[in-house]
Chain A
């Protein structure tokens, strides 16, 4: 963190997006995380991504639970809506909000503790319901807020700051999400914005549940030798296998992709996610193949990164499945939203 807020002064030639806003307009309040925390870089990537797709700040909802990661929703897009929920219960709040207003963008920020320990059940059911949201896990392998105990994502053999070795197997959110049928599953690294920013943009636009597991080193408790989630270890062991570019509707796909290796995935509004395979024997659109491929590499101690699995299906999305009204509840006419005692009697009569 810093002791003064970022000064309200900007580079004179800072570019503006379609709304006439600069990157600076997508910032939030002063970060109180440790200096060098990976989470702050993810915050910067979210700012960059939201600016890049000209997201209206008032059309974004930021949700989080408890933990270092969950604090970060305060640090980006100050003009957005926000809800800081009970530990591990962010998906329930997202569910309710999304059910009431499907027109907004939902971004949930969670951590390995919030999602893989106390909130594991909530996390799984959000995937099962295919809730239309971008779910980011800021994954650092430790409970930073309580002085660095191993979390459920700590790898076997990784060392704590004082030398203790972890012996319990980790829960991998990427494998878990693929297993539960998520249609958009990505892994990235806080230190690689070039990869992360387009992933966030694609995840925001994806019509359904989008997970990005971001390796985000804890500079205070998990950035030492022997840690498998330090800056250095991550840089040495992460391997991008799929590059993803988000191409908004109406814009041409840039032509610098070699034929055959670019796989466009159409989204419902005409936007596309263009996947570019870096490994020949890998098919990111096939869930089973992707699952096996990722698992094999985890066994070898390698973090595959990029948009590991993506499929364009939208028919299982929450609103489609539940046949909810097109209009957000706050825009429905009062008579339709509150049909009155007679209508209630009709409904009750069905159960008599």
Chain B
């Protein structure tokens, strides 16, 4: 097998599982180490560079990093990455003076962003320091988009959203609140903008057209619209018996909100068994902790209305046949069941909708009325019009929207500098040794065996008193100090130099998790079976060296469960192994070679 090409920027990036899984490529181990040192503001800024909203995401991120975390393979539970992000946000000091300076003299390019959600705000965040004039149009009287309207305040307090949005808006963004864009044509023709970014989200909740929907309409609500009305205090009560249809994360927010508006019995109705649920495991746990009942195998059949008043719903009781790979092969209706309800909330998905974009502007839509958007550049079929966030490819989550914003900002910058939008700086990686002395590393390389800490919650008695009591309290100082030590420092890479190796076996003998082997070369499938511990996880790479000097064997490292303790390097007599911090360079608009156009383009634009 060919020696591993570690100069490829993806190789060491993939070893940092959390960073690779994060759509915005947040340097997680780096900020966790900063928290360990009590450098909360620095930790916050490492986060902010990639994910822009650490305080918000530290509470409600979908956390693709955690299922990816190596710690989850070494033992059972991953590092509480998301909760540590909140620690950085909660304890940070003043940081605004450390954000990139916004030039007083603008570059003459004007950008319109539609919708003041996370995608548009990220675009503004990336472009303001480059001298752009950014205008954000927002239909509501407050900024924040779905973060504000759809995530209940007991999970994400308004003050957290306010602070992080203010950091961007105060760069000089022209935020037009209560300004709904009704016509794209008018904006393009009369706005005088050099580029338009559509970050208007996926604001249309899916409908469930069953018998009785019209008649019982007064007590049947669309989940995201209903949450929005709660956020704006238009809805303050709900009936005693509430049924939530659907079992995604929106359903979890709806059921927990219902309890706070006075519901006595809340049931979440799921069509399929638990393994098919869309909601994140931790959101299910939080809901169940509040005595929400999740009923499986119930398919909605009709709304039961008597005398113009909703009485409940009729369900088909389902049974499924599942094959060995966990897929449903057949379904049967075994019975029918009536459940009483005063209110029903539909949380079965949402869509993006663009009634305000005229179809003759050169912005093409596919047969599902979804705009055709380039997945890399985010440009639509009309030059200068870009889509990002849920508006681009349907509902995802905040962290994806942020990355869309970063990528769209690069495109907008290229577009405004008259460069091809597809011409983008590739990602890179830098390595820097962490060796301080004979047995000294500038990171804490010892392995901490402690288990994942649990975040304290407000007691069940207290939390329902008001709708905006934040349930999660965040880690205590002691918990944070313990949890940071669970991070394995996967970004401190084991780097091998075959020329220096004398094949003394020292590294192999000391490796606590048996990830190293010296063996005759072979192809990958063969090598995986011949290692000291068989490398069965094929999603994790084998790091294969060039042939060794003395015997021509190769050094093979299975990256899978390496705990980055550095003992291979500590015990190596010739420093053939070294521990080196990988800095993944994931380019943003400010990194593009076209940056610094402020003075150059000043004349041309006037």
Contact = CB atoms under 8 A, between A and B. Distances in A.
A125 interface: no
Interface string B521-564: 00000000000011010000000000001110000000001010
Contact of B512 (A6, A37, A190, A191): A6
A9 B513 contact: yes
A12 B561 contact: yes
A235 B550 contact: yes
A89 B381 CA distance: 88
Contacts of B449: 7-9
Contacts of A193: 505
A347 interface: no
Given A11-B515, A41-B509, A4 B504 contact: no
A250 to B, nearest CB: 26
B439 A2 contact: yes
Contact of A36 (B440, B447, B533, B572): B572
A44 interface: yes
Nearest to A6: B512
Interface string B419-451: 000000000000000000001100001110100
Contacts of A10: 512-514
A17 interface: no
B550 A219 contact: no
Contacts of A43: 509
Nearest to A219: B573
B534 A40 contact: no
Most B C-beta atoms less than 10 A away, residue of A3, A24, A38, A41: A3
A13 B533 contact: yes
Given A2-B439, A14-B533, A235-B551, A7 B563 contact: yes
A216 to B, nearest CB: 10
B22 interface: no
B571 interface: yes
A35 interface: yes
B302 to A, nearest CB: 50
Interface in A1-56: 1-4, 6-14, 23-24, 34-38, 40-41, 43-44
B227 to A, nearest CB: 42
Contacts of A24: 512
B446 A41 contact: no
Interface residues of B, number: 36
Interface string B1-21: 000000000000000000000
Which interface class (under 10, 10 to 19, 20 to 34, 35 or more) fits A? 20 to 34
Contacts of B508: 44
B506 interface: yes
A3 B533 CA distance: 25
B514 A231 contact: no
A243 interface: no
B240 interface: no
B495 interface: no
Contacts of B440: 3
A7 B512 contact: yes
A232 B462 CA distance: 72
Interface string B489-521: 000000000000011111011101111000000
B447 A191 contact: no
B396 interface: no
A217 interface: yes
Contact of A35 (B75, B445, B533, B573): B573
A223 interface: yes
Contacts of A34: 573
A37 to B, nearest CB: 7
A35 B506 contact: yes
Nearest to A43: B509
A1 B573 CA distance: 10
Interface string B69-100: 00001110000000000000000000000000
Interface in A308-331: none
A43 B445 CA distance: 24
B567 A2 contact: yes
Contact of B571 (A2, A7, A223): A2
A193 B449 CA distance: 31
A2 B570 contact: yes
B502 A231 contact: yes
Nearest to A24: B512
A231 B567 contact: no
B570 A231 contact: no
Contacts of A13: 533-534, 536
Contact of B503 (A6, A12, A191): A191
A223 B512 contact: no
A190 B504 CA distance: 8
B447 to A, nearest CB: 3
Most A C-beta atoms less than 10 A away, residue of B502, B509, B512: B509
Contact of A9 (B439, B445, B510, B512): B512
Nearest to B504: A36
Interface string B393-406: 00000000000000
A7 B515 contact: no
Given A2-B510, A9-B512, A41 B505 contact: yes
Contacts of B571: 1-2, 35-36, 40
A37 B514 contact: no
Nearest to B445: A4
Contacts of A2: 439, 510, 567, 570-571
A281 to B, nearest CB: 26
20 contacts: A2-B439, A3-B439, A4-B446, A6-B567, A7-B449, A7-B565, A9-B447, A10-B513, A10-B514, A12-B561, A14-B533, A35-B571, A36-B574, A37-B506, A40-B506, A41-B506, A190-B505, A193-B505, A232-B549, A235-B551
Given A2-B567, A10-B512, A235-B550, 15 more contacts: A1-B439, A3-B570, A4-B567, A7-B447, A8-B512, A9-B512, A12-B73, A35-B571, A35-B573, A36-B506, A40-B571, A191-B505, A231-B504, A232-B550, A235-B503
The 3 closest A-B pairs by CB, nearest first: A36-B573, A7-B447, A44-B509
Interface of B: 73-75, 439-440, 445-447, 449, 502-506, 508-510, 512-515, 533-534, 536, 549-551, 561, 563, 565, 567, 570-574
Interface of A: 1-4, 6-14, 23-24, 34-38, 40-41, 43-44, 190-191, 193, 217, 219, 223, 231-232, 235
